[in-house]
Amino acid sequence: MDLPVLYVKPGCPWCVEVIDYLARKKIAVRKVVVSGNPEGMREMMELSGQTKAPTLDWHGEVLADFGVDELVPFLKRQGA
C-alpha cells in the first residue's frame, strides 16, 4: 500500500511539529516539499484547494493547514 503523503514547506513551524509527532508515533509518510517544487505545489492545491502547509493526504482523506491538535483526532478517525 502507498504511504500517506505529507506536503510541507521548509521553515514552517507547524510542518516541523507534525513531522516530529509522526516520527515519535512511528507513522510513515512520504514527504513532499512544495517550496520550489511546482508539481508538488500543484498536487497539494488540487487536493486541498489552497497553498498552506502542512497538508496530509491519507489515502484520499485530506487534512489541510493543520497542527498536531487537529492531526491527532484525524489520525484516530483513520484508524492510525
Looking up residue 31, the CATH number of its domain turns out to be: 3.40.30.10
Cβ atoms of residues 55 and 64 within 8 Å: yes
> In which domain, by residue range, is 69 found?
5-78
CA distance 80 to 59: 12
pLDDT tens, residue by residue, 8-38: 999 999 999 999 999 999 999 999 999 999 9
Confidence band for 1, pLDDT divided at 50, 70 and 90: low
pTM recorded for the entire structure: 0.94
Query: What's the number of domains the chain is made of?
Result: 1
Indicate if the pLDDT at residue 80 is higher than 90. Answer: no
